[in-house]
Amino acid sequence: MFAFLALLVTKMIACLFLGIFDDAVIGTLHCMALDMELNGGTPSYGPPEYHKQLAEIGLSGEGAQKDGDAADPNAAAGGQPMGVM
């Protein structure tokens, strides 16, 4: 009986932590998406370290596309890039 209660409490704590973490990640990504939408695809707010890490992984906005990557077909046709509403 004790093992069942320990397992139940552990699962409840893990679900609570992961739920809060999920909300934090979604909130952060939502803020970044809104910042990029309002500033022409380039994030302008946030700490310099954040922008440096975005540039390293290729999400810094205008120069985000790496050499050799295929262009977005919607952008080439005069439409908005995928994911921008």
Question: Which conformational region is residue 78 in: left (phi greater than 0), alpha (psi within -120 to 50 degrees), or beta?
Answer: left
Q: Which is it for the CA torsion 26, 31, 37, 39, positive or negative? A: negative
In a domain, 19, yes or no: yes
Number of domains observed in the structure of the chain: 1
With a CB cutoff of 8 Å and minimum separation 6, the contacts of 32 are 43, 46
Q: Is the pTM of this model over 0.75?
A: no
For residue 68, is it within any domain?
no
Reading the block at residue 17, the tokens are 């932590």
CA–CA dist 27, 34 (Å, integer):
11
Residues of the chain above pLDDT 90, percent: 35
**Could you read off the pLDDT of 16-41 as tens digits, one per residue?**
999 999 999 999 889 988 988 998 88
Q: Is residue 32 part of a domain?
A: yes
